[in-house]
Amino acid sequence: MKRLRCFYLLFSSIFLCLQGPVFAQSTQIDHKWWKEAVVYQLYPRSFKDSNGDGIGDLKGIISKLDYLQSLGITAIWLNPVYASPNDDNGYDISDYRAIMKEFGTMADFDALLKGMHQRGIKLVMDLVVNHSSDEHEWFKQSRSARNSPYRDYYHWWPAEKGKPNYRYSLFDVNHDAWMYDSTTNAYYLHYFSRKQPDLNWENPKLRQEIYDIMRFWFDKGIDGFRLDAFTFVAKDITFPPFPKGYEKNFMPYYSMQPHLHDYLKEMYKEVFSKYDVLSVAEGAGNTPQDAHDLVDADRQELNMAYPFEWVDIPKPEGYSLVHLKAVISKWDSIFAQKGWLSVFLANHDNARMVSRFADERPQFRNLSSKMLNTLVLTLRGTPYCYYGDELGMVNIRFDNIADYNDVALRNEYAYLKKNGGDLKKWMEDMKFSNRDNGRTPFQWDNSAQAGFSTGVPWLKVNPNYPQLNAAQQEKDPNSNLNYFRKLIRLRKKEPTLVYGAYAQVDAQNPDVFAYTRTLNGRKILVLLNFRSKSVQVKHGEALKNAQLLISNYASPSRKNTLKPLEASVFLLK
Ligand code: NOJ
Ligand code: CA
């Protein structure tokens, strides 16, 4: 009978599933601050400019610390602020122990860290060590002579051996990751731009240098590192030819080789184990197993994965909500028992989440922003909220190539031009997906340049700022900004939203993302309508006695309909 009932519950409608009593054994919670954190990703170049040079800076951030605290966020991931010639906006570091001139000084950094800690906000920095800048002292030495003690800090291929086997470069004008250097008649490897030569992780001396840098920052008191492009560090350095058909998915052939785990274990032993910090790798490997292994606590590597699969889905054509739901659910299941996930819908390498996943038209963008933030802040995993998403900032959609800054885009433009690509179509695609869309200056108020700078911003401000800015949203109790604060308050007081088991509901519903979170008998239902129209759901009677925890509508429907872009979260009774 009991088995029959289970069977029935499994295959009957969601209505019956939700009605069923919640028999749960008490779950032991493995509390960690980084699991309970709400991370705000702050792109320093675009947050607040304090001196009118058009570039956001550390003093600018300091001037906005009270705003950041008012959000309720508990940690900030700061994109790179180290010395850099800025070929790739700080992802090309020329001195790992110094602050970028445009951003300020080490004294500014210390003041920022202090101000954050005083407000209960932790600081996670970017660790960009798959590559350095070609202007780093190590590279200057390395390229100067074949017998330089720094030669093996990078990957060199002597030209007398012929041209090395092809390696794809993500940012190169020719897509070629090998760059010939006449000084020593050799090629060096750069998976990103020519000014970002790849560091050689096979070299133990190089690895020790990196651990030293990490300790330098931890000893200053920072609270974590996000490891940029880290899955690329473990390469097959014999550089064999790629097999046929590699183009379909070239990643396994040049990244995430098994010895990546050895590097991480060593890094854990040398550095992470000595501090109570957040450690997250960008990307999550080639397979779910890789991802799991990176963050399974027993393996002592990192503590959080950051998979890309769901931000890779929504291209203009062919974005299916059923697929998105399946991907998010799959990643949740990988970490259901062990390991931990990062949850995000946007970052500095992607377009704005409202433009990508919902409806950016002015009449729908507020509902869209609230609905998507509800998703990010009610899934299991640590939420990462990208600056400006608390306001519902949207893509800028540049028409003109000269308006873009992104090194990847500029080089791809040159590549397509040279090779007769369809530039018109590509420029249209870029309005949807290019990363500069997500890097425009923060919209503080309706004064010139949205209050970001008194000068000319390095990247144009979105012209919608008179209608979409923080000052105006401060005043409106129903604004995106105030909804965002409310959501964070809810997450902080509901451990179920942090630690509770996740179960998707009505997986085949093409319009609605619905799921429950359950912890020790407490069950929360999240209903998200991804469409700009009313849609049907099957939650039926389940909500009759449920307690509404939050919604982007004043009076959400408790019947079988969800309003356009509705997000409602209920505690089931
Ligand atoms: C990933 C970073 O997120 C991106 O912005 C950067 O361009 C590349 N890694 C290279 O560092
Ligand atoms: Ca500035």
pLDDT at 24: 46
Q: State the helix-helix crossing angle for 407-418 and 423-433, rounded to 10 degrees.
A: 160
pLDDT tens for 143-169 read 999 999 999 999 999 999 999 999 999
Q: Is residue 194 a part of any domain in this protein?
A: no
* pLDDT value at 15 more than 60: no
* pLDDT value at 426 more than 90: yes
Q: Whose CA is nearest to atom 4 of ligand 1?
A: 349
**Structure confidence at residue 384 as a pLDDT band (50, 70, 90):** very high
**CATH number of 542's domain:** 2.60.40.1180
Cα 564 to ligand 1 centroid, rounded to whole Å = 36
Same domain for 363 and 234: yes
Among this protein's residues, is 436 annotated catalytic? no
Same domain for 215 and 148: no
Which atom of ligand 1 is least distant from the CA of 131? 11
C-alpha–C-alpha distance, residues 70 and 93, integer Å: 32
**Structure confidence at residue 540 as a pLDDT band (50, 70, 90):** low
**CATH number of 424's domain:** 3.20.20.80
pLDDT at 12: 31
Q: Is residue 170 a part of any domain in this protein?
A: yes
pLDDT tens for 309-363 read 888 876 666 679 999 999 999 999 999 999 999 999 999 999 999 999 999 999 9
Phi–psi pair at 60, nearest 5 degrees: -60, -45
Residue 362's alpha-carbon distances to 280, 303, 345, 355, 564, in angstroms, are 35, 39, 20, 11, 14
Same domain for 323 and 348: yes
* pLDDT value at 8 more than 60: no
Q: Is residue 228 a part of any domain in this protein?
A: yes
C-alpha–C-alpha distance, residues 100 and 322, integer Å: 44
Encoded amino acid at 497, one letter: L
**Structure confidence at residue 27 as a pLDDT band (50, 70, 90):** confident
Mean pLDDT of 454-464: 98
Same domain for 516 and 536: yes
Same domain for 468 and 421: yes
> Which ligand neighbours the alpha carbon of 47 most closely?
2
C-alpha–C-alpha distance, residues 401 and 145, integer Å: 39
C-alpha–C-alpha distance, residues 164 and 178, integer Å: 8
Same domain for 208 and 176: no
Reference 564, options 514, 525, 512; nearest CA is 512
C-alpha–C-alpha distance, residues 48 and 374, integer Å: 26
Which atom of ligand 1 is least distant from the CA of 435? 5
Which atom of ligand 1 is least distant from the CA of 348? 5
CB distance 290 to 284 below 8 Å: yes
Cα 61 to ligand 2 centroid, rounded to whole Å = 10
Among this protein's residues, is 474 annotated catalytic? no
CB distance 242 to 235 below 8 Å: no
Same domain for 291 and 208: yes
Out of 211-225, 234-248, 293-307, least confident range: 234-248
Which atom of ligand 1 is least distant from the CA of 171? 7
CB distance 226 to 41 below 8 Å: no
Same domain for 81 and 182: no
CB distance 79 to 114 below 8 Å: no
Q: Whose CA is nearest to atom 9 of ligand 1?
A: 229
Three-state secondary-structure class, residue 393 = coil
Same domain for 58 and 29: yes
> Which ligand neighbours the alpha carbon of 411 most closely?
1
What does the mean pLDDT of the chain come to? Answer: 93
CB distance 449 to 46 below 8 Å: no
pLDDT at 560: 86
Which atom of ligand 1 is least distant from the CA of 408? 7
Q: Is residue 173 a part of any domain in this protein?
A: yes
| 435, 467, 489 - which closes a domain | 489
Q: Whose CA is nearest to atom 3 of ligand 1?
A: 349
pLDDT at 318: 66
Share of the chain above pLDDT 70, in %: 94
Cα 108 to ligand 2 centroid, rounded to whole Å = 12
Q: Which position has the higher pLDDT, 246 or 435?
A: 435
Residues with CB under 6 Å of ligand 1 are 88, 91, 128, 192, 228-229, 282, 348-349
| 433, 464, 489 - which closes a domain | 489
Q: Whose CA is nearest to atom 5 of ligand 1?
A: 349
pLDDT tens for 347-359 read 999 999 999 999 9
Q: Is residue 38 a part of any domain in this protein?
A: yes
Cα 192 to ligand 1 centroid, rounded to whole Å = 8
**CATH number of 152's domain:** 3.90.400.10
Query: Looking at the 3D structure of the chain, how many domains does it have?
Result: 3
Same domain for 332 and 391: yes
> Which ligand neighbours the alpha carbon of 170 most closely?
1
Same domain for 421 and 371: yes
Same domain for 380 and 464: yes
Boundaries of domain holding 53? 2-135+199-489
Ligand 1 pocket test: pick from 84, 87, 88 the residue with the most ligand atoms within 8 Å of its Cβ: 88
Q: Whose CA is nearest to atom 10 of ligand 1?
A: 91
Q: Whose CA is nearest to atom 11 of ligand 1?
A: 91
Cα 411 to ligand 1 centroid, rounded to whole Å = 15
Point out the catalytic residue in the list 49, 126, 228, 406: 228
Ligand 1 pocket test: pick from 41, 43, 128, 170 the residue with the most ligand atoms within 8 Å of its Cβ: 128
Q: Is residue 211 a part of any domain in this protein?
A: yes
551: left (phi over 0), alpha (psi -120 to 50) or beta: beta
Q: Which residues contact 335 (CB under 8 A, 6 or more apart)?
A: 292, 295, 305, 341, 380, 381
Cα 80 to ligand 1 centroid, rounded to whole Å = 10
Reference 196, options 154, 256, 236, 247; nearest CA is 154
Q: Is residue 495 a part of any domain in this protein?
A: no
pLDDT at 500: 97
pLDDT at 283: 83
Concatenate the DSSP letters of all residues of 221-257 into one string: T--EEEETTGGGSS--TT-PPPPTTGGGG-HHHHS--
Q: Is residue 300 a part of any domain in this protein?
A: yes
| 146, 161, 189 - which closes a domain | 189
Share of the chain above pLDDT 90, in %: 85
Cα 408 to ligand 1 centroid, rounded to whole Å = 10
Point out the catalytic residue in the list 102, 198, 282, 566: 282
Ligand 1 pocket test: pick from 82, 91, 96, 134 the residue with the most ligand atoms within 8 Å of its Cβ: 91
Q: Where are the beta strands (DSSP E) in 47-107?
A: 75-78, 82-83, 95-99
> Which ligand neighbours the alpha carbon of 226 most closely?
1
pLDDT tens for 490-514 read 999 999 999 999 999 999 999 999 9
pTM, full prediction: 0.94
Mean pLDDT of 553-559: 87
Q: What's the first-to-final CA gap in the chain, in angstroms?
A: 25
pLDDT at 13: 35
pLDDT tens for 174-208 read 999 999 999 999 999 999 999 999 999 999 999 99
Mean pLDDT of 420-434: 95
C-alpha–C-alpha distance, residues 457 and 440, integer Å: 9
Cα 366 to ligand 2 centroid, rounded to whole Å = 30
Which atom of ligand 1 is least distant from the CA of 192? 10
> Which ligand neighbours the alpha carbon of 280 most closely?
1
Residues across the chain: 573
Cα 228 to ligand 1 centroid, rounded to whole Å = 6
Q: Whose CA is nearest to atom 6 of ligand 1?
A: 91
Three-state secondary-structure class, residue 524 = strand
